[in-house]
Copies of this chain bind each other. A is one copy, B any other.
Amino acid sequence: MKELKSLTRLEESFNKLPSIGKRTAERLAYSVLDMSEEDVEEFCDSLKSIKTQIHRCPICGAYTESDVCDICSNPSRDQHTLLVVSYPKDVISFENMESYNGLYHVLGGIISVQNGKSIDDLNIGGLIERLKTGTINEVIIATNPTIEGETTAIYLSKVLKDYVANITRLAYGLQMGATLDYTDSLTLAKAIEGRRKL
């Protein structure tokens, strides 16, 4: 049976998206055939508008549709605490907690030898500039609890110690709702190490 070129073309576009494998891409491409013209038009417009409307905040690197993000431009935020994260998406995760009131700094990645990401690719220079203003009292390093996230955290703590006195790292330990028998040994060890007095 002759290949439907436009179907294959759309499957390839879907396949480029993370976690969308070949079979799902095929199913999604077929579903577009059943979509109305208006819905397809809307899909395209929303794809394009996300590239034109959203950019990175020049101060912290979070995603914003304004000139400066609403966290950096909010004077009621705690101006003395900086939460350093790897990705813009991480800012959303922390904001969803609705309990952190400080500022953020997005590195734009982690130090990763295999992915060719070095220190120069991360926005550490911008971070140091912010610390030089002297308003920041604490930097909380919130890179992922992975080997690369840890490496980045250790490197940062060395580089930043000349600019800020208090550098902290997120705690490791038990995940809320998890059970011990489903928790890996390394995390269990960290949970004991970081135990707190009741």
Give CA–CA (A48, B50) in the complex, Å: 18
**Which residues from chain B contact A71 at a C-beta distance below 8 Å?**
1
Q: Is A155 an interface residue (CB 8 A)?
A: no
| Residues of A1-36 whose CB lies within 8 A of B | 1-2, 4-7, 9-10, 12-13, 16-20, 24, 27-33, 35
| Residues of A21-68 whose CB lies within 8 A of B | 24, 27-33, 35, 37, 39-40, 42-44, 46-54, 63-66
**Which residues from chain B contact A78 at a C-beta distance below 8 Å?**
none
How many A residues touch the partner, as a band? 35 or more
Interchain CB contact under 8 A, A40 and B33: no
Interchain CB contact under 8 A, A17 and B44: no
Give CA–CA (A159, B49) in the complex, Å: 51
Give CA–CA (A47, B13) in the complex, Å: 9
Beta-carbon contacts of A146-189 to B below 8 Å, as 1s and 0s?
Answer: 00000000000000000000000000000000000000000000
Q: Is A121 an interface residue (CB 8 A)?
A: no
**Which residues from chain B contact A48 at a C-beta distance below 8 Å?**
40, 44
Residue of B nearest to A8 (CB): B46
Residue of B nearest to A10 (CB): B46
Give CA–CA (A29, B24) in the complex, Å: 16
| Residues of A68-115 whose CB lies within 8 A of B | 70-71, 88-89, 91-92, 95
Interchain CB contact under 8 A, A63 and B2: no
Give CA–CA (A180, B39) in the complex, Å: 44
Interchain CB contact under 8 A, B33 and A16: no
Interchain CB contact under 8 A, B1 and A95: yes
Interchain CB contact under 8 A, A10 and B50: yes
Give CA–CA (A64, B95) in the complex, Å: 48
**Which residues from chain B contact A28 at a C-beta distance below 8 Å?**
17-18, 20
Of B9, B43, B65, B89, which one neighbours A5 at CB under 8 angstroms? B65
